[in-house]
Amino acid sequence: MHLRPRNAVLSGVLLLVLTIATLFFLPAEYGVRSYITSVGSSRSSSRPETSSQHEELFSTALPETYRHLLPGLKLPKQLQQYPSLHNRLHAFLSRPIRSHQDATSINEKKCPRELSDRLVNPDQLNGDGGFWREEVTEETIRNKRVEMVNYLVEVLKRGDDIVWNFAQDEFQHRMQEAEIFADANPDIAKRAPISRKGSRGFVSAAGNSDTTQRLLTLLRILRRHYKVDLPFEVWTFPAELSTSSREYVELTEELGATVHEAQGLAKDPGAWKNFQIKGLAITSSSFKELIYLDSDNIPLRDPTHLFESQRYTDNGRAAFWPDLSKDHVDNAIWRIIGDECDLDNWTFESGQIVIDKAGNDGLNLAALHLAAYMQADHDFWFHMCGGDKDTFRWAFRALDIPFAVSPMWAVPLGQRNGYDNGRFCGHTVLQYDLETIPGEEEPRPLFVHS
């Protein structure tokens, strides 16, 4: 469109006014700074008003056994701004608390010991069985449940959301418009950068020599062979990956990843592996919806179609994959979460996760925070989970919110050991797609996880 000089000037003035107006009305938590200092803004703005229908539950006392931990037998008042989360946490703390002896008589009816002994990871049973039976008392259960609640309150106090902030979704379109306006005026663009919160992307954790080399291989395959252009965030322990290293340069400049340090975490020098970074990496990532991949997990094709899987979208927008074992009848996690044992479901294998933090009406974010708490308190929780993997499952179960699981069992890959009479030696897990292609009988293999 051609404009006369007068019309061009008017159009320019109008564009500038619209830009300033748009930026002015976008709150600071969306990364857009207005020219007039806002008063009383908060990063944590996903706060629905308390409705009268929830007042009865807010005033309902928790079981008497919590009195020494929660004076007044009420959840912290900060949680009342999230009625749905408050109600689910109240229900969680109200679940039965049983001793190991009392739970055994109940759990063995659904989980016969002989069968449970064969389905559990034997290393976990041998290494942690005594801890389950002797160290996890009824008082331990009460303490850990309340710690989970208090952790969410601490997240709130540091200014982060514990339920997804739907206001940022409502403003996303306006942010995109503001970006167009700001790009038209370099001075505005410089002073008012536009956030891209709410996007999709990939997340992984790496940093030491082995994980970084594996991650480079993963990214080369995604970028160069599958032509995946979604952003990719790499999370490391503090000071783990030098910005001057060749690996850092390739990750950031050649493969288009961004590298972040997970603050507040430290490696356990005596641990076989340091699993505790995964939950914090996912909750801290800038993406609303993401695919998490372990550094040693290679997709067999572009996995971004998982975002559109009906199994994923119909089940809380959270999808996980099974591991090769099941929880033992003695595992104290049944008592901590307040469940009865069952052998219907496999444990999780968290080398790949697809999740929308806004799923389950925003409660997926709360579940991820709980998983991050369990991983941070790994000296306790990993006795039940054998690593980070099942912290996600139990966090979702604590809040009683749905999630999807791959319809196919995990399959071990390996080779015959010629020095041991051809005995099969498994070293890799093969995971399958969430959906079956029309005309085929089962989902195709999708991930090869070493």
pTM: 0.83
What is the predicted pLDDT for the residue at 416?
Answer: 92
In a domain? residue 316: yes
What is the predicted pLDDT for the residue at 195?
Answer: 40
What is the predicted pLDDT for the residue at 325?
Answer: 95
In a domain? residue 51: no
Do 227 and 293 share a structural domain? Answer: yes
Do 444 and 386 share a structural domain? Answer: no
Do 389 and 254 share a structural domain? Answer: yes
Q: Please state, in angstroms and as integers, the Cα–Cα distance from residue 254 to each residue in 214, 223, 233, 249, 290, following that order.
A: 16, 10, 14, 7, 22
Say how many C-beta atoms besides its own lie within 10 A of residue 333's C-beta: 20
Do 351 and 228 share a structural domain? Answer: yes
In a domain? residue 255: yes
Do 285 and 237 share a structural domain? Answer: yes
Q: How many Cα atoms are found within 13 Å in the side-chain-facing hemisphere of 30?
A: 26
Judged by phi (left if over 0) then psi (alpha if -120 to 50, else beta), residue 31 lies in left
Give 30-46 as a 3 state SS string: HCCCCCCCCCCCCCCCC
Do 235 and 303 share a structural domain? Answer: yes
User: What is the number of structural domains in the chain?
Assistant: 3
Do 430 and 285 share a structural domain? Answer: no
In a domain? residue 399: yes
In a domain? residue 20: yes
Tokens found for residue 422: 């051809």
Question: How many Å apart are CA 43 and CA 46, to the nearest integer?
Answer: 9
Over the chain (450 residues), what is each successive 10-residue block's mean pLDDT? Answer: 45 46 41 28 44 75 97 96 97 98 97 97 96 98 98 96 86 61 51 53 92 96 97 93 94 96 70 70 96 97 98 98 97 98 95 98 98 94 92 98 97 91 91 97 96
Do 387 and 428 share a structural domain? Answer: no
Amino acid (1-letter code) at residue 198: G
The SS3 of residue 424 is strand
What is the predicted pLDDT for the residue at 42?
Answer: 35
In a domain? residue 159: no
Do 206 and 177 share a structural domain? Answer: no
Cα dihedral sign for 37, 38, 42, 46? negative
Question: How many Å apart are CA 58 and CA 87, to the nearest integer?
Answer: 8
In a domain? residue 253: yes
Q: Write the DSSP symbol of residue 70.
A: S
In a domain? residue 206: yes
Sheet holding 352-356, edge to edge: 257-261, 232-236, 200-205, 289-293, 352-356, 318-320, 404-405
Question: How many Å apart are CA 171 and CA 25, to the nearest integer?
Answer: 10
Q: What is the CATH number of the domain that holds 224?
A: 3.90.550.10
Do 181 and 232 share a structural domain? Answer: no
Do 318 and 176 share a structural domain? Answer: no
What is the predicted pLDDT for the residue at 272?
Answer: 47
Domain extent at residue 435: 409-450
- Opening angle at CA 394, ends 139 and 303, nearest 5: 160
What is the predicted pLDDT for the residue at 386?
Answer: 79
Of the chain, the end-to-end C-alpha distance in Å amounts to 57
Nearest in space to 148 (alpha carbons), one of 400, 428, 373, 422: 373
Judged by phi (left if over 0) then psi (alpha if -120 to 50, else beta), residue 7 lies in alpha
Q: Please state, in angstroms and as integers, the Cα–Cα distance from residue 311 to each residue in 265, 314, 318, following that order.
A: 34, 5, 9
Do 263 and 232 share a structural domain? Answer: yes
